[in-house]
């Protein structure tokens, strides 16, 4: 009797063990059932991968019709493939930017939003769809706008076409984008006033400037003032200093000795600049937005010879014959003023001159901080 009692638990365990195993298997299957579908997404077949690559190459090479045809084939014939997400997204972009068809762009963008967009993409695509739906009534203007943007014909032609578009369609919904494009294009063409005016019109159009547009606007404003207001101030200084010197009739005091002295100074100035040229070539210019040509340095050095000649005439003026002490005190100040005005005018009218001034100013501030 005791033996039977001892064997009873073993028998119960033996009976329950198969049931326990079946329960564990059932739980495992249940857990697999609740896994996300992405975990079971099948890899695309080699044929679909090849189609996706062909679509990418066609887009990069500018064969947009071919890119659309391939992406359409992926979207319609391979609805369960991973490549379909890319195809749907590209179809929206291609119909918006290249083979312009607003209705089809809206169709594919909406499908991407509903089926594939993540939380970050959703807000972007909602805004994008809203803009495209508003542009339905301005389809022709939108086609012109997109063709101007994506046909690379140079800044001059692009500016002409954008100006014509705004003249023909003053109520164009993407006017702010056109004005922004004009501002940047005029800046690249070194037309600072037109660039500034484009950004002014953009700020007055009621749209908030992006951070990049704000920086470009401030830069264009500063460059335009440098080439207009401050340039006229520099011209006034040069004209005033030359007029003052000529009124003192310095040619009456010129002698062979003074002319020889000027020629010696000019030669020494040329030698000094020749010695300092290796310093210019050793400058690190990798981070500069433009390359400073060698001719800028040579021409700036040459312009200083005109300042030396002006200084020679200044010292020979009749006014200073009875005021030698005043000449010693004032000549360095007046020479510095003349040199600054002349070099400023040279740089401000040189192609990309305001940008060159910025580079020299940044370099000077950097060297001052090192001291």
| Tens digit of pLDDT at every position of the chain (371 positions) | 444 444 434 333 343 444 444 444 334 334 433 333 433 344 778 889 999 999 999 999 989 999 999 999 999 999 889 999 999 999 999 999 888 899 999 999 999 999 999 988 899 999 999 999 999 889 899 999 998 988 878 899 999 999 999 999 999 999 999 999 999 999 888 888 899 999 999 888 777 788 888 888 888 888 888 888 899 999 999 999 999 999 998 888 888 888 888 888 888 877 877 776 666 555 555 555 566 667 777 787 788 888 889 988 898 888 888 888 888 899 999 999 999 999 888 888 887 777 777 777 777 777 677 77
Token pair listed for 170: 């003053």
Helix (H) or strand (E) holding 198: helix 192-204
User: What dotted CATH number matches 46-138?
Assistant: 1.25.40.10
Nearest to 181 by CA among 170, 194, 167: 194
Indicate the pTM of the whole model. Answer: 0.66
Sign for the pseudo-dihedral over CA of 161, 92, 212, 357 = negative
Which residue is listed with tokens 């305001």?
A: 354
Q: For the chain, which residues make up each domain, given as ranges?
A: 46-138, 152-227, 232-370
Nearest to 186 by CA among 159, 147, 164: 159
Buried b (16+ CB within 10 A) or exposed e, 323-344: eeeeeeeeeeebbeebbebbbb
Residues 6+ positions from 227 with CB-CB distance below 8 Å: 192, 193, 348, 349, 353, 354
Question: % helix / strand / coil in the chain, to the nearest 5?
Answer: 80, 0, 20
Nearest to 92 by CA among 129, 142, 131, 62: 129
How high is the pLDDT of residue 208? 77
Residues 6+ positions from 308 with CB-CB distance below 8 Å: 262, 265, 266, 269
Contact between 336 and 278 (Cβ < 8 Å) = no
């Amino acid at each position: 009797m005791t033996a039977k009692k001892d064997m009873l638990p073993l028998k119960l365990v033996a009976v329950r063990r198969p049931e326990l195993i079946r329960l564990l298997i059932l739980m495992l299957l249940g857990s697999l059932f609740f896994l996300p579908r992405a975990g079971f997404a099948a890899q695309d077949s080699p044929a679909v991968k090849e189609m996706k690559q062909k679509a990418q190459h066609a887009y990069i090479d500018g064969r947009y019709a071919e890119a659309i045809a391939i992406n359409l084939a992926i979207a319609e014939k391979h609805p369960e493939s991973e490549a379909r997400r890319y195809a749907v997204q590209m179809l929206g972009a291609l119909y918006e930017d290249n083979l312009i068809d607003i209705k089809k762009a809206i169709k594919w963008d909406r499908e991407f939003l509903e089926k594939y967009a993540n939380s970050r993409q959703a807000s972007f695509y909602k805004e994008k769809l809203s803009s495209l739906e508003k542009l339905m009534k301005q389809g022709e203007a939108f086609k012109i706008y997109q063709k101007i943007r994506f046909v690379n014909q140079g800044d001059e032609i692009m500016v002409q076409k954008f100006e014509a578009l705004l003249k023909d369609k003053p109520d164009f919904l993407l006017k702010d984008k056109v004005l922004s494009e004009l501002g940047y294009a005029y800046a690249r063409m070194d037309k600072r006033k037109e660039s500034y005016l484009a950004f002014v019109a953009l700020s007055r159009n009621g749209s908030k400037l992006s951070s990049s547009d704000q920086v470009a606007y401030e830069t264009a404003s500063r460059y335009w003032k440098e080439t207009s207001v401050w340039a006229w101030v520099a011209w006034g200084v040069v004209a005033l200093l030359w007029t003052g010197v000529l009124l003192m009739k310095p040619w009456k005091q010129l002698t062979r000795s003074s002319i020889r002295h000027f020629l010696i100074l000019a030669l020494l100035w040329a030698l000094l600049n020749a010695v300092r040229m290796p310093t210019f070539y050793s400058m690190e210019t990798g981070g500069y937005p433009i390359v400073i040509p060698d001719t800028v340095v040579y021409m700036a050095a040459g312009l200083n010879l005109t300042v030396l000649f002006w200084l020679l005439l200044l010292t020979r003026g009749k006014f200073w014959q009875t005021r030698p002490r005043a000449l010693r005190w004032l000549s360095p100040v007046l020479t510095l003023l003349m040199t600054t005005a002349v070099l400023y005018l040279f740089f401000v009218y040189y192609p990309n001159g305001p940008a060159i001034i910025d580079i020299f100013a940044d370099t000077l501030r950097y060297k001052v901080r090192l001291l």
